[in-house]
Structure 1
Amino acid sequence: MKSYAVFLRGINVGGINIKMADLKSALASCGFTEVKTLLASGNVALASELGAPAVKQEIEGCLRKEFGYDAWVVVLGADKVAGIVEACPYPADDKSTHTYITLASDTAMLDELFEAGTRLDGTQQHRLGPEAMAWLAPAGGTLDSPFSKLSSKPRFKSGTTTRNLRTMIKVRDATAALQNG
């Protein structure tokens, strides 16, 4: 069994509401084991015999069937999540800024987003690997930050999702616990 983190895009915002108990039940009924949801923003730790691309395909199909929405997820192995958290040069807690990690299932899409971010005034960002990048937003102004506005464009919807670093640490710890059994 392999331990995975699954990051759902766009649930419990914008009208797509899924209770975490229902999400856990749906994923278990689709054959995933040791399913654990974290927070209410679509973060899941689970185990599967499948590889990451197959887990992604199965979960998106499961969510579309069970909840009736155009589901998009990013799936990363436990080691990959740990590496992303470790590589982040920004603090998890700071009074003036918040650290975010944008994750991608489509490397070319993340390349495009990262390149576009380099052209924004005042944006601090750092690439963490082919599937992740970190960026800073002012405390209390995340949604109004230039990078947040850029990354929320429909162009990036099917291949990216963003979490704050504190959430990524919780997901890392949950997937490591599954992996270490």
Structure 2
Amino acid sequence: MARLVAFLGSINVGGNRIKMVDLVAALTGAGFRDVSTVAASGNVILTDERDPAMLEIQLESTVQQAFGFKSCAMVRTRDQIRAAIDTNPFHGTGPEHGSDKMVHSIFLSQQPDAVAVEALIEEHAAKGSERLALGDRVLFLDYVHGVGVSDLSNKVLERRLRCRGTARNMTSLKRILAKMEETA
């Protein structure tokens, strides 16, 4: 049985308020096993052997049925979380790296077209100070001055890349990875 993390989008933002105890209860009631959460933003750790793409559909359906709104779910393994931290070119030490709160990994529903990503990077280079890079079904983004002042909202990124995504900063990813490793 694999320990996985499901990143649920739209949880506890924009009026979609859910208590994590209620989320755990809904997912457990829907048949998910060993469910726990990290922080109050839709980070769910669970045990499962099913295909991650199928899990994503089932998680999205469960959230919609239980709480009445659409969420996206991105399921990843512990190794994929570690890679999202280790291969993020904007994370690390030194003056060329951003702070853990500003550097994000945006988990994507599919690998976006490389031409679309390059066009986004080129276009945005003249508009803002944020830095972007593409990984394996993940977009790395250093918001530099903060998410709230950036033009690169989730809606903009989804429209430009033609895939869904949900972001987590390095602080959150490190906490999630630590919890996955202690429950392994």
* Deviation, structure 1 residue 81: 1.2
> What is the percentage of aligned positions where both structures have the same residue?
22
Task: With the length of structure 1 as denominator, give the TM-score of the two structures.
Answer: 0.84
Structure 1 moving runs of 4+ over 6 Å = none
Contact kept? 1:138, 1:145, Cα under 8 Å:
no
- Alpha-carbon separation, structure 1, partners of 2:115 and 2:27: 30
1:100 and 2:104 aligned: yes
Corresponding position of 2:30: 30
User: What is the TM-score normalised by the length of structure 2?
Assistant: 0.82
Give the RMSD, CA atoms, in angstroms.
2.6
Task: State the Cα distance separating 1:115 from its structure 2 match.
Answer: 3.9
Distance 1:75 1:97, change over 3 A: closer
Identify the match of residue 132 of structure 2 among 107, 120, 125.
125
Answer yes or no: is the 8 Å Cα contact 2:100–2:170 preserved in 1.
no
1:95-143 CA-partner distances (Å, limit 9, x unpaired)? 69721111101223787456413321233122222x112111124x322
Counterpart residue type for residue 107 of structure 1 = Q
* Structure 1: stretches of 5+ with no match in the other structure: none
- 1:1-181 to structure 2, matched below 5 A, reads 1-91=1-91, 98-108=102-112, 112-113=116-117, 115-121=119-125, 122-129=129-136, 131-139=137-145, 141-146=146-151, 148-149=152-153, 151-153=154-156, 155=159, 159-178=164-183, 180=184
Greater length-normalized contact order (CA 8 Å, ≥ 6 residues apart): 1
CA gap 1:97/1:72 in 2 versus in 1, 3 angstroms: closer
Closer/same/farther in 2, CA of residues 112 and 23 from structure 1, 3 Å limit: farther
How many pairs are equivalent?
175
The answer for unaligned runs of 5 or more in structure 2 is: none
Instruction: Write the letter of the residue equivalent to 2:30.
Output: C
Q: Partners of 2:100 and 2:75 in 1: how far apart?
A: 31
